[in-house]
């Protein structure tokens, strides 16, 4: 199938689905709006799975569908352009799935990948802790091996969708005498068990997309450890490379829609006539074009995933750009952006401004990304 035929197929399928049974799902979910339409979006995941749109480029024996890198990019572009709902299965498909394909055993692939490609299983990511956020090597959550199981004790924080997830991939310290990167293991943990407590965290937007997750004797099977015991750091870094891979181009389509909305609002209320704001609108457009060309170049050379350095460059670019766009959105609105409804109802510009503050913190803060680039790319001293 040619790329043009592939684009026509996914565009037609999305149009039919989003003007038909899932019309109410259009525009739901996404950053600052993950509290919306959970049940409808869960059924949307199953609908994607039944149609074969999950696991593009994966082996067919796990429910995947053949697709070139260019076609995967096209899929993400068309998905974002159609205003399709925010994916509850993003971490399942974009993070854990590629990690299992790269590091999992045949048994693990056969056990977990079909649940992802069918849209049935939702996963969350158990990395950050109160004392180990951007400095992930400081993980203190412990997993003690007892026979064929690990018993897990500790706390994770900023865990997106943990209150909805069926499973969590958790980075734990399995060697109590180890420090930093050594002695960590990557475990697949079922969320529906007595030893796990999930507490939502209320954000500036008034919603709760992130959670605290407490492990108090939670159990994971030894056969569900990905990679060798003590080599979890390598697997975890592989996951982060996939996190900032091909889906970033679809993310940028979403950014373009946000920028277009800000520009349209500036024309509507006359804000574009102010020279300083007009300059910032132009700078935002240029910044988005730079990100797109950078992403295409990096992905073409990396085969769909990004190395640690490339991932750091990409994360620093888009997080800073999106935060600046949030600031620009409220500045275009003017003084009215300081007001909310009596029940703290936020409009799109206010939600974007508040939630985008998190972009430069989660997934490795801007400061950490700059340190990585300085030390590993430029060779500067620690």
The region that residue 230 occupies, defined by phi over 0 for left and psi between -120 and 50 for alpha, beta otherwise, is: left
Nearest CA-CA partner of 227 in 237, 219, 217, 216: 237
Q: How far apart are the first and last CA of the chain?
A: 50
243 is catalytic: yes
Cα–Cα distances in angstroms (integers) from residue 223 to residues 106, 108, 232, in the given order: 11, 8, 14
Neighbours of 1 (CB within 10 A): 11
What phi and psi values does residue 306 have, to the nearest 5 degrees?
A: -115, 145
Alpha-carbon dihedral 35, 39, 43, 45, rounded to 10 degrees = 30
Tokens of 98: 């590629």
The alpha carbon dihedral of 369, 375, 379, 380 has a sign of positive
Catalytic residue among 34, 78, 231, 243: 243
Q: What is the DSSP string of 259-291?
A: HHHHHHHHHHHTGGGSHHHHHHHHHHHHHHHHH
Tokens describing residue 282: 């132009």
Long-range contacts of 109-114 (CB under 8 A, 24+ apart): 109/62, 110/62, 112/167, 112/188, 113/55, 113/58, 113/62, 113/63, 113/64, 114/62, 114/63
What tokens does 183 get? 């002695």
| Catalytic sites, residue numbers | 243
């Amino acid at each position: 199938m040619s790329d043009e035929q592939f684009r026509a197929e996914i565009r037609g399928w999305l149009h039919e689905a989003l003007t038909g049974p899932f019309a109410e799902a259009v525009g739901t979910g996404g950053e600052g709006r993950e509290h919306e339409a959970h049940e409808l979006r869960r059924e949307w995941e199953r609908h994607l799975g039944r149609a074969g749109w999950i696991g593009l480029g994966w082996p067919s024996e796990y429910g995947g569908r053949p697709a070139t890198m260019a076609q995967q990019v096209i899929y993400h572009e068309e998905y974002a352009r159609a205003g399709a709902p925010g994916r509850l299965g993003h971490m399942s498909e974009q993070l854990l799935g590629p990690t299992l394909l790269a590091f999992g055993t045949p048994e693990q692939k056969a056990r977990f990948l079909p649940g992802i490609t069918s849209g049935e299983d939702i996963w969350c990511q158990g990395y950050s802790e109160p004392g180990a956020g951007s400095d992930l090597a400081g993980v203190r959550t412990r997993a003690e091996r007892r026979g064929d199981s690990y018993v897990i004790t500790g706390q994770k924080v900023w865990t997106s969708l943990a209150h909805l997830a069926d499973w969590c991939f958790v980075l734990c310290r399995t060697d109590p005498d180890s420090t930093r990167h050594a002695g960590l293991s990557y475990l697949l943990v079922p969320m529906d068990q007595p030893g796990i407590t999930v507490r939502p965290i209320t954000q500036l937007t008034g919603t709760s997309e992130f959670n605290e997750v407490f492990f108090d004797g939670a159990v994971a099977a030894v056969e569900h450890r990905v990679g060798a015991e003590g080599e979890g750091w390598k697997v975890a870094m592989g996951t982060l490379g996939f996190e900032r891979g091909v889906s970033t181009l679809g993310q940028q389509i979403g950014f373009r829609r946000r920028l277009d909305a800000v520009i349209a609002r500036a024309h509507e209320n006359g804000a574009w006539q102010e020279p300083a704001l007009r300059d910032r609108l132009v700078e935002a457009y240029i910044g988005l074009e730079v990100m797109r060309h950078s992403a295409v170049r990096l992905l073409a050379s990396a085969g769909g995933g990004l190395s640690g350095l490339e991932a750091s460059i990409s994360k620093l670019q888009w997080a800073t750009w999106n935060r600046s766009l949030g600031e620009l959105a409220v500045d275009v609105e003017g003084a009215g952006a300081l007001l909310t409804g009596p029940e703290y109802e936020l409009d799109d510009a206010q939600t974007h401004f508040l939630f985008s503050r998190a972009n430069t913190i989660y997934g490795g803060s801007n400061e950490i990304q700059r340190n990585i680039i300085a030390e590993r790319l430029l060779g500067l001293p620690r």
